[in-house]
Structure 1
Amino acid sequence: MRSIDPDQLDALSASMGLHGNVVIVHLSGELDMATAPRLHLQLSEAARLISPPRLVVDMAGLGFCDSSGLNLMVKTLNEVKRAGGRLVLSGVGERFTRLLRVTGLDRSFQTYPSVELAAAELGDIAY
């Protein structure tokens, strides 16, 4: 029987892919003070793949997000907007939705139930 390292359960995994002219970043695991710096580098890289940036951050696999993770998402949103692009969220769970609502950030972030709907929204942008 294989043992599971408890540290692996708390890890954050991020993978990137293209859906037309939109970059999709799939998250799974936990976004917290320990994992936010690495994710910031990955999101910055994703934002540079297409100009202006069009990012969908898929949070369907995200099990936890603390204030440092939320701060990272706000920082990334602002960076993408300054570059003339858009960032939207998909697969946002109940906890994160509540966090956005309580902080008033639900007015800043557009959310979609699926990656496909989010990518379709961003793919139709005319620049």
Structure 2
Amino acid sequence: MRTGPIRCQEAADAGDLRVELAGLHGDTAVVTVAGEIDLRSAMTLRDHLTAVVEAGFESIVIDFEQVLFCDASGLNALVALANRMRADGGGVWLAGVRPAQRRLFQITGLDRRFPLCERVEDAVAQAGPHSLGR
């Protein structure tokens, strides 16, 4: 259940990375990420996703369609988020993951950790049917 404001309501830039709160669907937040997630930008990603968690959302859908590159530091930030969300009874879904990143998730076994959806709408529906239309 949401309890407070989201500090990252404005889009944030970290070099080649852009993180933006794109939508709210009940207790599910949709965050759009664009650019490259690497050692230099992973902290920005982590900080903005943490702000969404601290606002009290039960689920987060991350729109990955515009992510051009994601290295191990980016994966680490996502795993830390998923661990925190699961501990609080929530979850993280990824939507629009490009084939190269999808292969990375499969090689690392993280495709079993993160549901990978083709579209944001599909991820929101999986995150909680009760969240649609709210």
Give the structure-1-normalised TM-score: 0.85
Partner of 1:95: 100
Give 1:55-66 correspondences, 5 Å limit: 55-66=60-71
Q: Distance in 2 between matches of 1:123 and 1:61?
A: 24
Q: Distance in 2 between matches of 1:48 and 1:81?
A: 14
Letter in 1 for 2:32: H
| Structure 1: 5+ residue stretches without partners | 1-7
Letter in 1 for 2:81: T
Give 1:28-67 correspondences, 5 Å limit: 28-51=34-57, 53-67=58-72
| Structure 2: 5+ residue stretches without partners | 1-12
Q: Which has the larger radius of gyration?
A: 1
- How many residues matched? 117
Per-residue deviation, residues 15-45 of structure 1 (Å, max 9, x unmatched): 0121333100100000010001111110011
Q: Distance in 2 between matches of 1:84 and 1:21?
A: 12
1:123 aligns with 2:128: yes
Aligned 8 A contact 1:59 1:92 in 2:
yes
Give the structure-2-normalised TM-score: 0.81
Aligned 8 A contact 1:23 1:49 in 2:
no
1:22 aligns with 2:28: yes
Letter in 1 for 2:53: A
